[in-house]
Structure 1
Amino acid sequence: MGSIICATKCPNCGRSAIQDYYYRSDEKTIVCYRCGFYLKRQIQDIYASPTKYKEERYDGYGVFRLVNKDGKRTTTIFSCQLKENDIEKYVNEFSGDAVNQEKSFLVTYTDGDFKILCGTPTENWHLPFEAYKKKMLEKYGDTEDNRHMVPIEE
């Protein structure tokens, strides 16, 4: 199966998301590590005409990126609004001795507004998709291929 992985505009927040597109089957997955949006489109019945697909979609409500001092990292995307006790749990994890607080962050996303609760997201995290795309094309070269497949960078 052929797959193209590149940055794309998040349908939820308008920032940079990652898309994994299977061009032979028209299946795709989009994950936004800015707002937490998730979309997976998979073939349900390949023998139907036209082919039937099923979609799994979650609007994003934020992201928790935890990077340990040893380099291990995890990213949690939120498919619902966080409750106060959930926020406390993530803030406590962020405060752990093994955590690299400079590279970790907790962000919520509600009604189009981002709220950084702790840490500092990456430099590119704040950019709207078009500004991110322009920056990547300037950095990696504005070629015909790159115009359709925007490079991924945190």
Structure 2
Amino acid sequence: MIDMTSVMCSIECPNCGRSAIEDNYYKSEEKYIYCYRCGYLYKRMTKDGVNFQVDKNKGYGHLSKKSGEGKAVFFNSQMTIDQLGEYTNEFYSENTSQEKSYLITYEDGVFRCLLGTPTDNFHLSFEEFKEKMIKKYGEDEFGLVPIEV
């Protein structure tokens, strides 16, 4: 059996420079990074405990849908017209809380909010986010930054 102990914290997104989440499984050396701002994804996984596979998606945006179960979609390419129609329909469906959901594209360093309103922390650089979290939660003895989307 593999022990799946991990440390999760906020880090600077390597794609957009804002706050991303790092989930580091330090015993198995697996690592996941996902950015709820630009849609960047990084996965370093192993199936046999020895050999690793790395998957990385640059990030072209993100759909955050809040409802009873919630949903996050990270775009690994530019959104097509068909996808925009699909996500727009999903955004306006009766089981989506439009006040808490948003659809963002990220291209050439520019964020565009197509639907909804992003979170208060969305537009903060990582350093601004880190300062806000330290003021709110205090400084961590290991220098880890708390997660808050």
With the length of structure 1 as denominator, give the TM-score of the two structures: 0.87
State yes or no: 1:100 paired with 2:103: no
Q: Which residue of 1 aligns with 2:134?
A: 137
Once the two structures are TM-superposed, the CA of residue 46 in structure 1 deviates from its matched residue by 5.0
Identity over the aligned pairs, expressed in percent?
46
Aligned residues: 146
Larger Rg belongs to: 1
Residue 27 of structure 1 is aligned with which of 30, 41, 49? Answer: 30
Give every structure 1 segment of 4 or more consecutive aligned residues whose post-TM-superposition deviation is greater than 4 Å. 44-47
Unmatched tracts of structure 1, length 5 or more: none
Residues 107-144 of structure 1, C-alpha deviation per residue, up to 9 Å, x if partnerless? Answer: 01111111000100100111111111111011001132
CA shift, 1:44, in A, is: 6.7
Normalised by the length of structure 2, the TM-score is 0.90
Matched residue type, 1:92: N
> Secondary structure of the equivalent of 1:124?
coil
Distance 1:33 1:81 in 2: 16
- Counterpart CA distance in 2 for 1:134 and 1:80 is 32
For 2:28 and 2:87, how far apart are their aligned partners in 1? 38
What is the RMSD of the two structures over their aligned residues, measured on CA atoms?
1.6
Q: 1:16 aligns with which of 6, 16, 19?
A: 19
Q: State the 1:24 CA deviation.
A: 2.5
Q: Are 1:75 and 2:72 matched, yes or no?
A: yes
